[in-house]
Chain A
Amino acid sequence: MKSTDISIWFFIGVLLTIYGVLILGYGLWELITGNVANVVLANLHAPVWWGAIMLALGIFYSVRFRPGKEI
């Protein structure tokens, strides 16, 4: 059956994808340029892995629950 409604999980997926891109992008910029923010444990590069996790989850939910997908 094709779903015509947009699922809440799709909205969540879109938001996580956007946030993932922004935060991962910033983290990679930090990593490449060495301009690390003045925060504790900056050496762990949290924006990189946290942004990557959000992006991966976001893409999964966006694709899995995209409008019109058969569910």
Chain B
Amino acid sequence: MLQFGMTSNLASGVLSQAAAVFLANGAPSLAHLGLLDIAVIAIYFVMVIWIGYYLKSKASTSEEFFMAGREMTAWIAGLSFVSANLGSLELMGWAGSAYQYGILAAHWYWIGAIPAMLFLGMVMMPFYYVCKTHSVPGYLKMRFGQASSVVAAFSFAFMTVLMSGVNMFAMAEVMKVVLGWDLNFSIIVSSVAVAAYVALGGLRSAIFNEVLQFVLIWGGALLVPILGLIEAGGWTGLKTKIAHNIATGAIPMGDYTHMWRSMGHFQDNPMGVHWTGIVFGLGFAISFGYWTTDFLVVQRVLAANSLRSARMAPIIGSFFKMAVPFIVILPGLLGLVVLQNPDGSLMKLVGEDIVKANPAAGLHSYNEVLPLMLVRYCSPGLLGLGITALIAGFMSGMAGNVSAFSAVWTYDIYQPLINKRAKDEHYVAVGRWATILGVIISIFAAYMVMNAKGIMDYVQALFSFFIAPLLGAVLMGMFWKRATAAGGFWGLLTGTLTSIGLFAWVKADPSALRYVALSPYAKDMAENMYRALWSISVTFIVIFVVSMFGKARPVAELDGLVYGATKIPKEEPVPFYKNEWYWAAVAIVAFVGLQIMFW
């Protein structure tokens, strides 16, 4: 989870403090589940375990266990690709951000995802797929050698389980706040279910469940914007009511329904970001880093049954990603006008710090906007479905983490460093145990986070340290024949150190943000964007300089790894409606159309 999406990165950042706060407050639950709701949730758990048990017999070889036998169709790989990123924290965190910042939050779904997904499918996927790598660190090993691969593998494995734990804890807190469930119960039940179906059925089980979870997320969350829009009087009515609430001072001033108009200056928008940070920092360094090099999502596409399916999967995923703001951002905006206190006055959601400072005031935080909307509209059964959507989101993210951890641990750490020549069955067994181990470490991480206030911000920053430099190394390796192993290693290392250094600088001296983000008006969100830009720039420069002093590998050795040295297999001609280039073009048109529509 955070899946570690850059989206969740920020979303769980918002939720991070909430967790400790809720625990301390013992706030009353928002919703009370009836028998029907409990039945809906219980049936979901039975179904995911059934799928894992059924698929156990189809995960007996390492190729089956770790790569789902590379038999997934484009649709299944594409939905799984999006679902692995769409955690419950993304749903709730970004809905809260939409309430706070308006439609600006949709940048993380559109420019922060779509161009990168299309680039992965159309440009990068052939190299990943043709070289038959099992993982992104595996690609680095083939291109730059063992040292770069080990650095990437250890950092990825470490961060995956740690973040899995962070999100597990935050999810348990959400369940506690929304339903009043016991924290330990939530952690144990959800993690045991994930461990069971991933350890039994491997990646195939994770992918199948992610597709199921994707359908459930939509089925459980879609009613909220539909009913919300009916109540608000459609999009026009929503805009009118927001304007009225601003005029009466009920909500803070701001341009809640336009994405780019307030991006000309840092001080013009509540996020404190500039369009250059959004376009180059978020839209390139962070987004491309996450969607094209994070093995958590790339693994899903590598499981496709053909190169064409592997290219189509991210394109199919991009359409669904474009639609996600409908069930995430829109409920946040609707919350600004429809949520009411029991006395009929407009409910004002506030930051976690204010909730914490006034424990007896009955206040709700921004992050609770989606559950509040669920409770507002959903009757018995539908409420259970909505809660199941949140649980499904969490589990899809966690399954993504542990299945990716299992593959990277087995292929990129255990096999090359511990046991090089074992039987295939041995690696499958290692993968199964790694899955369970990953879940156990995640649980420990969850409890560690519980007792270490403020650690989540650092954990998320840690993960972001690796995204941009890894992208720099992969791009230089994939598109520059002259890049050397030493260049790749030192570029990755110095890029990472740059990111860590900038983070530490701002932590030690918050005023340093003006230098990192290039403006005295920059706020926290801008830091991530510009830090990523600095980091990838350093990576590019170091790889270039070091490589120029070294000896490049012969072009013949770069077949399947580098653009210009690889023969991409010719695909059978198909009608235009099955052609990936056609659908990529449609996705670009839709993406541009959305930007113009909400300019």
Name A residues whose Cβ lies closer than 8 Å to a Cβ of B: 5-6, 8, 11-12, 14-16, 18-19, 22-23, 26-27, 30, 36-37, 39-42, 44, 46-47, 50-51, 54
Contacts and interface: CB of A to CB of B under 8 A. Distances in A.
B231 interface: yes
Contact of A51 (B39, B44, B76, B381): B381
A12 B50 CA distance: 12
B376 interface: yes
B377 A16 contact: no
B429 interface: no
A66 B51 CA distance: 15
B227 A40 contact: yes
Interface stretch (B117-125, B169-177, B211-219, B474-482): B211-219
Contacts, number: 77
Given A19-B219, A50-B223, A40 B231 contact: yes
A37 B384 CA distance: 14
Contacts of A5: 58
Given A11-B208, A30-B379, A22 B231 contact: no
Given A8-B208, A54-B219, A15 B378 contact: no
Contact of A47 (B76, B230, B381): B381
Given A8-B211, A15-B212, 17 more contacts: A5-B58, A11-B51, A12-B211, A12-B212, A14-B47, A15-B43, A15-B44, A23-B40, A23-B381, A26-B379, A26-B381, A39-B376, A40-B227, A41-B377, A44-B227, A46-B227, A46-B378
What are the 6 tightest A-B residue pairs by CB atom distance, in nearest-first order? A37-B379, A23-B381, A8-B208, A26-B381, A39-B379, A40-B376
20 contacts: A8-B211, A8-B212, A11-B50, A12-B215, A15-B212, A22-B36, A22-B39, A23-B40, A23-B385, A26-B381, A30-B379, A39-B375, A40-B231, A40-B377, A42-B379, A44-B230, A46-B378, A46-B379, A47-B382, A50-B382
A44 B44 CA distance: 27
B254 interface: no
A42 B47 CA distance: 30
Nearest to B373: A40
B377 A11 contact: no
Given A12-B211, A41-B227, A46 B51 contact: no
A8 B379 contact: no
The residue in A6, A41, A44 that gathers the most chain B C-beta atoms within 10 A of its C-beta is: A41
A44 to B, nearest CB: 7
Chain B interface, DSSP helix/strand/loop, else mixed: helix
A16 B211 contact: no
Interface string B34-74: 00100110011001001100100010000000000000000
A64 to B, nearest CB: 14
B380 interface: yes
Interface residues of B, number: 31
A42 B377 CA distance: 8
A51 B378 CA distance: 12
A62 B375 CA distance: 31
Contacts of B39: 22
Contacts of B231: 40-41
B377 to A, nearest CB: 6
A9 to B, nearest CB: 8
Chain A interface, DSSP helix/strand/loop, else mixed: helix
A30 B381 CA distance: 12
Interface in B53-106: 54, 58, 76
Contact of A19 (B43, B208, B211): B43
Given A6-B54, A47-B382, A41 B230 contact: yes
B378 A39 contact: yes
Given A6-B54, A8-B208, A46 B76 contact: no
Contacts of B219: 16, 19, 54
B43 to A, nearest CB: 6
B36 A11 contact: no
A54 B382 CA distance: 11
B215 A16 contact: yes
Interface in B9-55: 36, 39-40, 43-44, 47, 50-51, 54
Contacts of A22: 36, 39-40, 381
A8 B83 CA distance: 15
B278 to A, nearest CB: 35
Given A8-B76, A8-B208, A22-B40, A37 B227 contact: no
Contacts of A15: 43-44, 47, 212, 215-216
A14 B44 CA distance: 11
Given A16-B215, A40-B376, A46-B377, A11 B47 contact: yes
Nearest to B207: A8
B211 A18 contact: no
A39 B36 CA distance: 16
Nearest to A6: B54
A47 to B, nearest CB: 6
Contacts of B378: 39, 46
Contacts of B208: 8, 11
A42 B60 CA distance: 50
A27 B76 CA distance: 32
A23 B47 CA distance: 17
A23 B382 contact: yes
Nearest to A36: B379
Contacts of A23: 40, 381-382, 385
Contacts of B211: 8, 12
The residue in A26, A39, A51 that gathers the most chain B C-beta atoms within 10 A of its C-beta is: A39
Contacts of A54: 219
A44 B50 CA distance: 35
The residue in A15, A26, A36 that gathers the most chain B C-beta atoms within 10 A of its C-beta is: A15
Given A16-B219, A19-B43, A26 B36 contact: yes
